[in-house]
Amino acid sequence: MTKRIAVMSGDGIGAEVTREGLRVLEAMAGKFGMATEISHFPIGGVALDQTGDPLPPQTLEGGREADAILLGAVGGPKWDTLEFSLRPERGLLRLRAGLELFANLRPAQIYGDLVEASTLKKEVVEGCDIMVIRELTGGIYFGEPRGIKGEKGARVGLNTLVYTEPEIERIVKVGFEIASKRGNKLCSVDKANVLESSVLWREVAEEMASQFPEVELSHLYVDNAAMQLIRAPRQFDTIVTGNMFGDILSDAAAMITGSIGMLPSASIGADGALYEPVHGSAPDIAGKDIANPLASILSVGMLFRYTFDMPEADRIIQSAVVATLSKYRTVDIQGPNTKTVGCGEMGDLVLQQLAETSEPIPVPAAH
């Protein structure tokens, strides 16, 4: 069956890195004999310039109809002074909300020689491979009531942290499922010593554990989790947590690996899946062909793994990236005894590595 991919390159380096990601996607689809239908949709600043809306209706619809979305990045100084509802970033938030992408998957993995890029000691981070799963559509970022109110002469800033049982169940289920395909260790992070929403979170996670007997469930308070991530990151396999804790911990975990240009992500929901680099549109280097496309390429690996259930394809892409990095780097991850290459050339080199892998590889029976 033909797989439909919606490509939303967006702004700045979004177009440059997505082009390389897409080339890898097409090469891997060819290798696995998978038919794809690729459609392009504007999002962010480019969409605003074209249509007056950072998320035109046809882009949302295109995302909804696709099996998966490959996104670049949105935003840039040109649009920074616009009112909030017109900002490019608002288009991306509306896309995530519109497709109810409730699970954000952020791997933090050290790729081979890149261990030197981490600010932590080599012996602490070497071999690190963590998946942080962040709840993305609930919690304190969305809870009502909220706002800034004037009361008795002094303003009050108010936000509300709410999690319903079904919201907790669906994200913790994703946590268990992913842990069961990785190292069978799930750490649920909360603040159950202070917050009732966390007490419920912990109870629900415990109640679900019997459905996944192969997975060892543990709990950590978020402050301890932050400390442990920096102290001994290798103790973690899969982490599942709420929106705000996940926002902070996923960035902390990501930086263990050193470079923002290497970080892929997936946002998965009831009605779609979105794959994108963690980085933004990097206006400072846009148009110079020096951006690192590996976050986009690794996001394509996640797309194969999670939307098409083809972990083998992800493994092949990751191997090609590691092999390429041993000899070539983009400027952001320059290293000794490696040649510095541009964005397009890095894409060429990964494709060359992929071509050297024996082919064709049969599509798994279920697909």
The residue annotated as part of the active site, out of 80, 122, 181, 223, is: 223
The yes or no reply on residue 117 touching ligand NAD (CB under 6 A) is no
Phi and psi of 73, rounded to 5°?
-160, 160
- Asked if residue 281 binds ligand NAD (CB under 6 A), the reply is yes
In the complex, least distance from residue 338 CB atom to ligand NAD, rounded to whole angstroms:
15
333-365 CB burial, b ≥16 within 10 A, e <16 = beeeeeeebbbebbbebbbebbeeeeeeeebee
Six token digits for residue 347: 């894409």
Annotated catalytic residue 53: no
Choose, by CB under 6 A, the member of 261, 264, 269, 272 that binds ligand NAD: 261
Contact between 92 and ligand NAD per CB under 6 A: yes
Question: Site for ligand NAD (CB under 6 A): how many residues?
Answer: 22
* Catalytic (active site) residue 332: no
Contact residue for ligand NAD among 56, 75, 138, 175 (CB under 6 A): 75
DSSP character for 320?
A: H
Q: Is 141 a catalytic residue?
A: yes
Closest CA to 43 of 80, 101, 96: 96
Q: One of 49, 67, 129, 251 is an active-site residue; which one?
A: 251
Q: Toward ligand NAD, which CB reaches closer, 144 or 284?
A: 284
- Which tokens sit at 8? 């939303």
**134, 191, 202, 279: which one binds ligand NAD (CB under 6 A):** 279
Q: Shortest Cβ distance from residue 255 to ligand NAD (Å)?
A: 12
**Strands 68-73 vs 272-277: parallel, antiparallel or unpaired:** parallel
C-alpha torsion sign, points 26, 30, 33, 39? positive
Output the furthest CA–CA distance in the chain (Å, rounded).
Answer: 72
264 is a site residue for ligand NAD (CB under 6 A): no
Q: Position of tokens 């295109």?
A: 62
Question: Under a CB-based contact definition with an 8 Å cutoff, are residues 299 and 332 in contact?
Answer: no
Span of 61-69, 96-104, 232-240, 290-298 interacting with ligand NAD by CB under 6 A: 290-298
Q: What is the DSSP letter of 146?
A: E
Is 347 among the residues that bind ligand NAD (CB under 6 A)?
A: no
Establish whether 223 is a catalytic residue. yes
Interface residues with ligand NAD (CB under 6 A)?
13, 17, 73-76, 89, 92, 260-261, 276, 279-285, 291-292, 295, 332
Active-site residues, by number, are: 141, 191, 223, 247, 251
